[in-house]
Amino acid sequence: MTEFVYYHRLALAEAVLDRVGDEFRLLAYSEFLRRYEDPEWNLKSLLEPSRQAFGSLSKEGLKVLGQSLKGLSKRIQEVTTSDKTNGVNAL
């Protein structure tokens, strides 16, 4: 996973975020899939290093990554959740 460099991680992060005014929101999975399949976004080739990096992880590596992502997910939710949602979060 050492070849999974900064710009690959940045491309992956940008692929799942949408800017709305001065805020960011996390795309729903179905929105991400539409974006991923849209040739105009060119995400298949941009995200290929990510796919390869995740595919090369061992079971233990995936477990460690999963634990790390739980904390990251919480922080992202705090940053992307708008006050306008009145406490209602998407699934």
* Alpha carbon distance 12, 46 (integer Å): 8
The verdict on residue 34 lying in a domain is yes
pLDDT score recorded for residue 40: 94
Identify whether the C-beta of residue 35 lies closer than 8 Å to the C-beta of residue 27: yes
Q: Is 71 within a domain? A: yes
Give 22-38 pLDDT, tens digit per residue.
888 889 999 999 999 99
Residue 25 falls within a domain, yes or no? Answer: yes
Q: Which residues of the chain have pLDDT under 50?
A: none
Residue 65 lies in a domain: yes
The answer to whether position 91 is within a domain reads no
Host domain of residue 35: 6-82
**Does residue 68 fall inside a structural domain?**
yes
Domain tally for the chain?
1
Assigned domain for 40 exists: yes
Is residue 90 in some structural domain? Answer: no
pLDDT, residue 3, reads 60
**Tokens (6 digits) for 47:** 């995200």
